[in-house]
C-alpha cells in the first residue's frame, strides 16, 4: 500500500485544516439564545470537545427533539468520590438523570439540553476532569486494568496510563477558552466543586501540556499538526493474566510484563479495531499484532511514534478505511516495526512471552495490598440509575457522601469502589441492600460478563435495539444454559445495535450485531480471554429466535464438550458451521 493520494480527501480533512484549533462556530452557537442545536460543520467539531449531537429517536415521528451526549475522560476509569458527586448532580440537572458507564471506562451524560451543555462541561472541568478529545480524530480515553485496582503493579501501570494520556492530548487552547473561561454561569455547586478540587492532588490530570507557539502566538501541535489523525485512535493497558481491558481491540495496546512482582515494561500491540459496515468488504474487525517490547522510560516516545505513523499513513480519503488497523493489515508487521524503528532511532527488542487466562470483573469484596478493601459491583448495561425499587444512583450518592471511596469504571461497564476501610464495609453493604440493589454483589457470570451498547433511542447510527432489550434476552439465554444442565457457567455475550461494535461483540463467545430493526447477526467462536475473533454463524436472526438457537447450541455443547471446555472454544471447533 502506498500512501493514499489519488482519491480526494474526505470533507473532515478540509474542516480540520480550516480550523485547526477545532473551535468551529461553537462559541457563536452557545451565545445564541435561539439555537436549539449544533449544526452543519459544528457537528464534527463538537466531537473533539466530547459532544455528540443527538435526537430522541423514539420521538422522531413527532419531529426531532434535539439534545447532546457528553462523554467524560477518566483514565483507567478512575473517578474520585467528590468528582462523582458533581457528576451525579449534573446528570439530574442537565441530562436524563442517568450516568452511563461506557465500554472504555468513561461516563456519558445522555439527553443534555442545549442550555445545559456549557455549564455541564465547565463543571466537569472544575471537578478536575475533562471532555477534551474523548471523541474525534485523536487519542480517546486511555483504558487501564481495574482488576485488582490496587497493588504495586497496577499503581505503576496507572501512572503510565496518565503519562500517555497527557502526552497524546491535543494542544488546542480553544477547548478551555470556550468551555472553561467562556462559560459564565454560577450553578451554586460551590461546596461540591470545592470538595472535588481539594480531594488529593489539586491539578487537573487532563490538562494538555503547554504548547509551543508559532510567530503569531498560535499553539503548534507537534504530534497532531493541523489535521489531526485520519480517524479515532484508542489506547489501552492490560496486566496479564486478566484481559479486562480487551487489549487486542485497541489501536495501540501496552501489555504489562511483570517479573518478581516488578513492572519491567510493556509489550506493544498495534492494529486492533472492531468497527465494520455491513456489506463493505473494505472493512472488518481485527485484533492487534504484537510488535515488540519497551521499557517504561520509552513509553511516551513509543506512543507518540505509533500515533505519528497513523497520522502519516492512515487513509484520509475514506473514513471507513482510515483506522491504523488497515495500515497494519495492508503493510504488515515487519514494515511497521521498521517504520517505528526509524522514528524512534532504534528497533524495539522482541516481545516477551505473556498469557491471558480470562477477562472481566470480580464481584463482591476483595482485600487490597494496603489492607483496605474494594467492592466489585455489577451495573446492568452500565446504566447508573434509579428505577422503581432499584435505587443504584441514590445508593452510590449516599456511599460517596459518607465514605468517599474511589470509583473505578470497568471496561465491562461495571463499577469498583476501592479504598474502603474494614469498619465501613457493613454500612456500605446495608445501603446497597436497603436501596434494592442486592443483585450488584452477585450477578452470575452471564450477566456479569455481558455488555450492550446504548443504541436506541439516543444513538443516531443504531439499526436495532441493544441496551433496552439486552437484560431480557440475557435472562432467556441464562435459562437455556440451565436447561442444558450447565447453569451458572461463565459466558461472554455482547450485543450492539449496528456493526460499529461499541460493546465489542466481535470477540465475544456470543456476539449479536444489529442488522435491521429486530434482527441480528449471531456470531460465535470468540473466547473468554478476548484473544480470538468470532465469526458470523447466522445472519439476520429475529430477536425471539436468538434464545431458541442458543438453547439448541447449548444442548449440543453439553453433550459434546470436553471437560472444562468453554462454550466459545467448543463453538469455534464444533460441527455447526457450513462446510465449504
Cα–Cα distance for residue pair 323/1, rounded to 1 Å: 14
Q: Does 127 bind ligand SRM (CB under 6 A)?
A: no
Per-residue DSSP letter, 506: G
Angle, in degrees to the nearest 10, between helices 392-403 and 81-94: 140
Least distance to ligand SF4, CB of residue 71, Å: 12
Tell how strand 510-516 and strand 519-524 pair up. antiparallel
Q: How many CB atoms lie within 10 A of CB 207?
A: 15
| Catalytic-residue membership of 498 | yes
Whether 447 and 474 have beta carbons less than 8 Å apart is answered as: yes
Q: Does 359 bind ligand SRM (CB under 6 A)?
A: no
Least distance to ligand SRM, CB of residue 551, Å: 26
Out of 16, 19, 47, 71, the active site residue is 71
Q: Does 451 bind ligand SF4 (CB under 6 A)?
A: no
Out of 498, 504, 515, 528, the active site residue is 498
| Catalytic-residue membership of 135 | no
3-state secondary structure at position 235? strand
Give the residue, chosen from 71, 122, 195, 515, that forms a contact with ligand SRM under the rule CB under 6 A. Answer: 71
Whether 325 and 210 have beta carbons less than 8 Å apart is answered as: no
Q: Does 408 bind ligand SRM (CB under 6 A)?
A: no
Residues 462-491 that bind ligand SF4 (CB under 6 A): 462, 466
Per-residue DSSP letter, 151: S
Residues 214-243 that bind ligand SRM (CB under 6 A): 232, 234
Which residue stretch of 22-30, 82-90, 460-468, 469-477 sits at the interface with ligand SF4 (rule: CB under 6 A)? 460-468
Least distance to ligand SF4, CB of residue 186, Å: 35
User: What is the end-to-end Cα distance of the chain in Å, rounded?
Assistant: 31
Q: Does 457 bind ligand SF4 (CB under 6 A)?
A: no
Q: Does 108 bind ligand SRM (CB under 6 A)?
A: yes
At 264, which helix (H) or strand (E)? strand 262-270
Which residue stretch of 292-300, 384-392, 495-503, 546-554 sits at the interface with ligand SRM (rule: CB under 6 A)? 495-503
| Catalytic-residue membership of 64 | no
Q: Does 453 bind ligand SRM (CB under 6 A)?
A: yes
CB-wise, 189 or 451, nearer to ligand SRM?
Answer: 451
Cis peptide bond upstream of 518, omega within 30? no
Provide the grid cell at 311: 497520522
Residue 497 interacts with, from ligand SF4, ligand SRM, none (CB under 5-8 Å by kind) = ligand SF4
Which residue stretch of 67-75, 190-198, 410-418, 455-463 sits at the interface with ligand SF4 (rule: CB under 6 A)? 455-463
Paired with 67 in beta bridges are: 54
Least distance to ligand SF4, CB of residue 37, Å: 19
Q: Does 508 bind ligand SF4 (CB under 6 A)?
A: no
At 107, which helix (H) or strand (E)? strand 107-112
3-state secondary structure at position 475? helix
Angle, in degrees to the nearest 10, between helices 114-126 and 190-198: 40
Per-residue DSSP letter, 48: H
Q: Does 459 bind ligand SF4 (CB under 6 A)?
A: yes
Measured from each CB, the residue nearest to ligand SRM is 275
Q: Does 238 bind ligand SF4 (CB under 6 A)?
A: no
Provide the grid cell at 508: 465475544
Which region holds residue 364: left if phi is over 0, alpha if psi is between -120 and 50, else beta?
Answer: left
Cα–Cα distance for residue pair 549/554, rounded to 1 Å: 9
| Catalytic-residue membership of 453 | yes
Q: How many CB atoms lie within 10 A of CB 200?
A: 9
Residue 91 interacts with, from ligand SRM, ligand SF4, none (CB under 5-8 Å by kind) = none
Which residue stretch of 155-163, 309-317, 384-392, 454-462 sits at the interface with ligand SRM (rule: CB under 6 A)? 454-462
Per-residue DSSP letter, 57: G
| Catalytic-residue membership of 502 | yes
Cα–Cα distance for residue pair 47/134, rounded to 1 Å: 8
Q: Does 500 bind ligand SF4 (CB under 6 A)?
A: yes
Which residue stretch of 180-188, 372-380, 397-405, 497-505 sits at the interface with ligand SF4 (rule: CB under 6 A)? 497-505
Count of alpha carbons within 13 angstroms of residue 173, beta-carbon side? 10
What residue ranges bind ligand SF4 (CB under 6 A)? 453-455, 459, 461-462, 466, 496-498, 500-502
Q: Which residues are catalytic?
A: 71, 140, 232, 234, 453, 459, 498, 502
Amino acid at each position: 500500500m502506498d500512501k493514499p493520494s489519488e482519491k480526494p480527501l474526505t470533507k473532515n480533512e478540509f474542516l480540520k485544516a480550516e480550523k485547526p484549533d477545532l473551535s468551529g462556530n461553537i462559541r457563536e452557537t452557545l451565545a445564541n439564545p435561539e439555537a436549539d442545536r449544533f449544526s452543519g460543520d459544528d457537528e464534527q467539531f463538537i466531537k473533539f470537545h466530547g459532544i455528540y449531537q443527538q435526537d430522541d429517536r423514539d420521538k422522531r415521528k413527532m419531529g426531532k427533539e434535539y439534545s447532546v451526549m457528553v462523554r467524560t475522560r477518566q483514565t483507567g476509569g478512575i473517578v474520585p468520590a467528590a468528582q462523582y458527586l458533581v457528576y451525579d448532580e449534573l446528570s439530574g440537572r442537565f441530562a436524563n438523570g442517568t450516568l452511563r458507564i461506557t465500554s472504555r471506562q468513561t461516563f456519558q451524560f445522555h439527553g443534555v439540553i442545549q442550555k445545559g451543555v456549557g455549564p455541564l462541561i465547565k463543571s466537569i472541568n472544575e471537578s478536575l476532569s475533562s471532555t477534551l478529545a474523548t471523541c474525534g480524530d485523536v487519542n480517546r480515553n486511555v483504558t487501564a486494568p481495574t482488576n485488582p485496582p490496587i497493588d504495586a503493579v497496577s499503581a505503576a501501570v496507572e501512572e503510565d496510563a496518565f503519562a500517555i494520556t497527557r502526552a497524546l492530548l491535543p494542544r488546542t487552547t480553544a477547548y478551555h477558552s470556550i468551555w472553561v473561561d467562556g462559560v459564565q454561569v454560577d450553578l451554586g455547586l460551590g461546596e461540591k466543586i470545592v470538595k472535588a478540587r481539594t480531594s488529593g492532588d489539586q491539578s487537573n490530570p487532563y490538562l494538555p501540556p503547554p504548547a509551543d507557539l508559532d510567530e503569531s502566538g498560535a499553539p503548534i501541535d507537534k504530534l497532531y499538526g493541523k489535521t489531526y489523525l485520519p480517524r479515532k485512535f484508542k489506547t489501552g493497558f492490560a496486566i496479564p493474566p486478566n484481559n479486562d481491558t480487551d487489549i487486542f481491540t485497541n489501536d495501540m495496546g501496552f501489555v504489562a510484563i511483570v517479573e518478581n512482582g516488578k513492572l519491567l515494561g510493556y509489550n506493544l500491540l498495534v492494529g486492533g479495531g472492531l468497527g465494520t459496515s455491513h456489506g463493505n468488504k473494505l472493512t472488518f474487525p481485527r485484533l492487534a499484532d504484537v510488535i515488540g517490547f519497551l521499557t517504561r522510560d520509552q513509553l511516551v516516545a513509543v506512543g507518540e511514534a505509533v500515533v505519528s505513523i497513523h497520522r502519516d499513513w492512515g487513509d484520509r480519503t475514506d473514513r471507513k478505511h482510515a483506522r491504523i488497523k488497515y495500515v497494519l493489515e495492508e503493510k504488515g508487521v515487519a514494515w511497521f516495526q521498521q517504520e517505528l524503528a526509524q522514528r524512534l532511532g532504534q528497533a524495539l527488542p522482541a516481545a516477551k512471552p505473556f498469557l491471558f487466562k480470562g477477562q472481566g470483573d470480580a464481584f463482591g469484596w476483595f482485600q487490597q495490598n494496603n489492607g483496605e478493601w474494594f467492592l466489585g459491583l455489577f451495573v446492568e448495561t452500565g446504566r447508573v440509575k434509579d428505577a422503581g425499587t432499584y435505587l443504584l444512583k441514590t445508593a452510590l450518592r449516599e456511599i460517596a457522601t459518607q465514605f468517599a471511596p474511589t470509583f473505578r469504571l470497568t471496561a465491562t461497564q461495571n463499577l469498583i469502589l476501592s479504598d474502603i476501610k474494614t469498619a465501613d464495609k457493613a454500612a456500605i453493604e446495608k445501603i446497597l441492600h436497603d436501596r434494592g440493589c442486592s443483585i450488584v454483589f452477585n450477578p452470575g457470570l452471564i450477566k456479569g460478563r455481558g455488555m450492550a451498547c446504548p443504541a436506541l433511542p439516543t444513538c443516531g447510527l443504531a439499526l436495532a435495539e441493544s441496551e433496552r432489550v439486552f437484560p431480557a434476552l440475557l435472562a432467556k439465554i441464562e435459562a437455556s444454559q440451565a436447561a442444558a444442565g450447565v447453569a451458572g457457567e461463565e459466558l461472554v455475550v455482547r450485543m450492539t445495535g449496528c456493526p460499529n461494535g461499541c460493546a465489542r461483540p466481535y470477540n465475544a463467545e456470543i456476539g449479536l450485531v444489529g442488522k435491521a430493526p429486530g434482527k441480528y447477526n449471531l456470531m460465535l467462536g470468540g473466547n473468554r480471554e478476548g484473544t480470538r475473533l468470532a465469526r458470523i454463524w447466522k445472519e439476520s436472526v429475529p430477536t425471539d429466535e436468538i434464545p431458541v438457537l442458543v438453547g439448541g447450541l447449548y444442548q449440543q455443547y453439553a453433550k459434546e464438550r470436553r471437560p472444562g471446555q468453554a462454550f466459545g472454544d467448543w463453538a469455534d471447533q464444533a460441527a455447526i458451521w457450513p462446510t465449504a
